[in-house]
Structure 1
Amino acid sequence: MDKIKDDRDGIDLKSAFAMVSHDIKNSLGILLKFIGTISESSEMEGCAGIQQCADMEYEVRRINNNLVKLLTLFKVEEGVYLLNVDAHSVKDFLDEALLEHAVIMRQKGIEYDIECDHDLYWYFDRNLMMGVMGNAISNALRYTGDSIRLTAEASPHGLTIGVEDNGEGFPSNILAQQNGFMNPESGFITNNTGLGLFFTQTVLDLHQHDGVRGRVELANRADADGGVFSILLP
C-alpha cells in the first residue's frame, strides 16, 4: 500500500491535465470536421435537421475553445507562454475571426458586416487575440437577433475593435458597474462559467504599452437595438 501511495504522490497533475486536454482538443477537432461535412450535406439536400447541426457545432466549438483557453491560461500561469506580438492586418484578422463561425451564421440566418480600413495594422499576439475575438463573437451570436457587425478604428489612445449585435443589449446594472463586470462573479453573461471573461482579462493584461493595458468597454447601440462589446488595445 505504501508503494502505491508513493507512486500516486509523484503524479504531476498539472502535466496530466495538459496532456489530457490536448488529447480531448484533438478529438474535438476531428468531431468538428465530421459535423462540418454533415452540415454541408444537410444544406445541399435541404435536410430539416440543419438547425440541429448548427446547434451541435456551436456547442462542440464552444467546448473546444474553452479547452484552448484553459491550456493557454495554464501556460501563462506556468510562465512558459511566449508572447508573440507582431504587426497584423486588422481587416484580415477580423475576416479570419468571423470565418470560424461562418457555417453557424449561415445556418442560423445571421448576417454580418465588417467595417475596417484595409490599411489598418496593429501590434498584438494573434493567437491570444483570436481567442478573445472568438469568445466575443460567440456571445454575440448567442444573444443577437439576426446580425452582427465587427468594427475597428485606430486613435491616439489605441485600437478599438467592436463586436456589435442587434439583440436586447446589455442590462443597465452591468453598464453601471463596468469596473467589475470582468469578474466571474459579476454574472455578466448568464450560464457562463466566467472562463471566457478571465481569459479575456488575462490576454488584455499581457498587452501593454507605456504602462497602459488593454481593456474592455460595454455599451448599447445608440442608433438601434443591441449591445457593443469593445476591445481596446494600447
Structure 2
Amino acid sequence: MNETPDANELSLFLASTAHDMKNSVSVLAGTLETLLAGASPQTEAAYPQMAHMLYQTRRLNDNLIQLLALYKQVGKPEYPFDVQPLEIGGFVEQVVASVRVLLDSRGITLETDYDPKLIWHFDEDLVIGVIGHAINNAVHYTNDKIRLAIQVVGECLEIRVEDNGGGYPQAMLDAGVSAMSGVHAGVNFLTNSTGLGLYFSSEVAKMHKHRQRSGAIALENGGAYGGGCFVMRLP
C-alpha cells in the first residue's frame, strides 16, 4: 500500500499524540510512586486504590512505549537498534528499580536468580521494556511472588519471569504462540497483555540475531513456582 502525504501526516500526528500521552502518563506514574513510597496501608486509607492506579498507569505507559517503538521500527528504517555487551547485574538492577514501588505497594515479593558478572549482547532499552512489561503482567496473575531468573541455556540467554499464581489461561498461551508465528487476529486493547504486549515482545526478540538464529518468546505454565512463565530467549 502506497502512503499518501495525508496518510503520512496522520501517522506522524498519531505518533506525536502517543508521545505526549506517554509523557503525561509517566508524570502521573511518577507522582503515584512518590506518594506510595511515603505511605503505607496503615497510614493512608486510599493506599490500595493508589496501588491499583499505579498498576493501571504502568500498563498504559507500557502500551504507549510499545506503540512508539513499533512505529519507529516499521515506519522509520533508521530506528536505533542498539546491541551492546551488557553486564546482567546492571540490567537486573534497572529492571528491579523500575518495578520496586509497584510490587511493594501490592505486597508482592520479587526474587532474582542470575550471575551478575554474566555478559550478553542485546538492546538494553528494548529488553528492559519487554521484561518490565512481563513483570507488570505477572502482577495480574501472581498470588504474592514473582521470580526473575536469567541464565545461559544452550547458545541463548534465557530470561524468565515466573509467578506463583494459577497459571496462564489457554487463550493467553495460544496468543504467545500466535505472536511468534506471525498469525495475529489483531491487537485487543481490552485484554491484559495478550495483544500489543506479546506482539511487541516477539518483535524485539526477533530483532536479535546471531549466526542465523533469532530470538524468541514463549508463554508456559510451570517453572519454579508452578504458575505462569514468560520466557525470552536471545541468541
How many angstroms does 1:45 deviate by? 6.5
Q: 1:102 aligns with which of 100, 106, 115?
A: 100
* 1:171-190 pair list within 5 angstroms: 171=169, 179-180=177-178, 182=180, 183-185=183-185
Contact 1:150-1:162 within 8 A present in 2 as well: yes
Secondary structure of the 2:53 match is helix
Residues 176 and 26 of structure 1, relative CA distance in 2, 3 Å threshold: closer
How many angstroms does 1:94 deviate by? 2.0
Q: Which has the larger radius of gyration?
A: 1
How many angstroms does 1:39 deviate by? 1.7
Q: 1:169 aligns with which of 167, 171, 176?
A: 167
Residues 32 and 224 of structure 1, relative CA distance in 2, 3 Å threshold: closer
Provide the rounded CA distance (Å) in 2 between the counterparts of 1:46 and 1:170: 35
Provide the rounded CA distance (Å) in 2 between the counterparts of 1:191 and 1:109: 24
How many angstroms does 1:210 deviate by? 1.0
Secondary structure of the 2:147 match is strand
Deviations 1:29-82 (A, max 9, x none): 221222123223432971121111111011111111111111110000021311
Instruction: Kindly indicate whether residue 20 of structure 2 is the aligned counterpart of residue 23 of structure 1.
Output: yes
Contact 1:136-1:163 within 8 A present in 2 as well: yes
* 1:98-177 pair list within 5 angstroms: 98-171=96-169
Provide the rounded CA distance (Å) in 1 between the counterparts of 2:20 and 2:188: 31
Moved more, 97-106 or 170-179: 170-179
* 1:44-55 pair list within 5 angstroms: 46-55=43-52
Contact 1:181-1:188 within 8 A present in 2 as well: no
Residues 45 and 124 of structure 1, relative CA distance in 2, 3 Å threshold: same
How many angstroms does 1:187 deviate by? 10
Contact 1:164-1:226 within 8 A present in 2 as well: yes
Moved more, 12-21 or 159-168: 12-21
Percent sequence identity is 34
Contact 1:143-1:167 within 8 A present in 2 as well: yes
Gaps of 5+ in 1: 1-7
Give the TM-score of the pair, scaled to structure 2: 0.86
Instruction: Kindly indicate whether residue 189 of structure 2 is the aligned counterpart of residue 205 of structure 1.
Output: no
How many angstroms does 1:219 deviate by? 3.0
Gaps of 5+ in 2: none
Provide the rounded CA distance (Å) in 2 between the counterparts of 1:172 and 1:62: 22
Contact 2:187-2:196 within 8 A present in 1 as well: no
* 1:33-72 pair list within 5 angstroms: 33-43=30-40, 46-72=43-69
Contact 1:205-1:214 within 8 A present in 2 as well: yes
How many angstroms does 1:177 deviate by? 8.8
Aligned length: 227
Moved more, 122-131 or 92-101: 92-101
Deviations 1:11-32 (A, max 9, x none): 7011111221221111122212
How many angstroms does 1:98 deviate by? 2.3
Provide the rounded CA distance (Å) in 2 between the counterparts of 1:178 and 1:19: 29
Q: Which residue of 2 aligns with 1:215?
A: 216
Residues 190 and 30 of structure 1, relative CA distance in 2, 3 Å threshold: closer
Give the TM-score of the pair, scaled to structure 1: 0.86
Provide the rounded CA distance (Å) in 2 between the counterparts of 1:176 and 1:184: 11
Name the aligned partner's letter for residue 70 of structure 1: L
